Amino acid sequence: MNSDNYHARKRFGQNFLHDQNIIQRIVDSINPQNHEYIIEIGPGKGALTFPLLNRVKKLNVIEIDKDLAAKLRTNIEDKNRLIIHEKDALDLDFSIFNHTDLRIVGNLPYNISTPILFHLLKYRECIKDMTFMLQKEVVERICANSGNKKYGRLSIMLQYYCDVESLFNVKPEAFIPIPKIESALVKLIPLSHPRHELLDHECLKIIVRESFSQRRKTIRNALKKYLDESTIINAGIAPENRAENLEVCDFITLANCYHRMKTNIL
């Protein structure tokens, strides 16, 4: 139990930040400007919320835990400046904010960090940037380049749509309760024009998933059911490559080949 009698709820991935230096570093990394439209996912007890509110006119927060939302409501002096959405961020339609430059931030619950990232990608056109505290391992996977053991589905899907940058690591002791794992802050900036044209997002998902389903397999074998060897060669990709050696643009090429093949057949 914490000093304020609130039991952290495991099912909501609650580890509350209490290290003031880290909180300051996070807020400085976000560098919020007074007029900006900032949305915080999972404000909890307000560790980031209150310092953010000191810097902006209005702040929207999304909190699934009704008790924490109620606590925040009680603790806030200027009720008009903090808009609390008592909702599951995973179900939220971010277009309701009707804004094209959303800045989304949060110390995300570890148990749902990947689904939240994929959910937010759907709204990338109205997002200016996202700054999140995540499990360090997840940040490493997001930012990994080809050839790295951590390079995989998360790296490709996020790097295709965003510029990604790992900002700094955070020790478990910065949180209460202390988690078993290290954390890291990551910044993702959706690209207004992806570097390569993708014909179909679903095809990319399939090609990436299958390519990494068994990392040791060659692309030729991993994609056997989807693309024949000659198509891979004609696309300029050596079929004996393993998924971890292909660049993001190679996956786009393969996904586009698969899309063309499917739509010609249908």
Instruction: Considering only the stretches 42-50, 162-170, 222-230, 237-245, report the one whose residues sit in contact with ligand SAM under the rule CB under 6 A.
Output: 42-50
**59 binds ligand SAM, rule: CB under 6 A:** no
Q: How far is the CB of 72 from ligand SAM (least distance, A)?
A: 9
Q: How far is the CB of 100 from ligand SAM (least distance, A)?
A: 23
**65 binds ligand SAM, rule: CB under 6 A:** yes
Which residue minimizes CB distance to ligand SAM? 42
How many angstroms separate the CA atoms of 209 and 203, rounded? 10
Closest by alpha carbon to 171, among 2, 25, 8, 13? 25
Burial 30-57 (b: 16+ CB within 10 A, else e): bebeeebbbbbbbbbbbbbbbbbbeebe
How many angstroms separate the CA atoms of 14 and 9, rounded? 6
How many angstroms separate the CA atoms of 198 and 236, rounded? 17
Residues of this chain, 6-35, that bind ligand SAM according to CB under 6 A? 12-17
Candidate residues 30, 39, 47, 139; the one interacting with ligand SAM per rule CB under 6 A: 47
Q: How far is the CB of 227 from ligand SAM (least distance, A)?
A: 37
Instruction: Considering only the stretches 88-96, 123-131, 137-145, 148-156, report the one whose residues sit in contact with ligand SAM under the rule CB under 6 A.
Output: 88-96
Comparing CB distances to ligand SAM, the nearer of 8 and 261 is 8
Residues of this chain, 108-167, that bind ligand SAM according to CB under 6 A? 109, 112
Q: How far is the CB of 166 from ligand SAM (least distance, A)?
A: 18
Query: Do residues 251 and 211 lie in contact, with contact meaning Cβ atoms separated by under 8 Å?
Result: yes
Burial 64-85 (b: 16+ CB within 10 A, else e): bbeebbebbeeebeeeeebebb
**105 binds ligand SAM, rule: CB under 6 A:** no
Match 């400046």 to its residue by tokens: 81
Environment class of 108 (CB within 10 Å of its CB; exposed 0-12, middle 13-18, buried 19+): buried
Which residues of the chain form contacts with ligand SAM (CB under 6 A)? 12-17, 41-45, 47-48, 62-65, 68, 88-90, 107, 109, 112
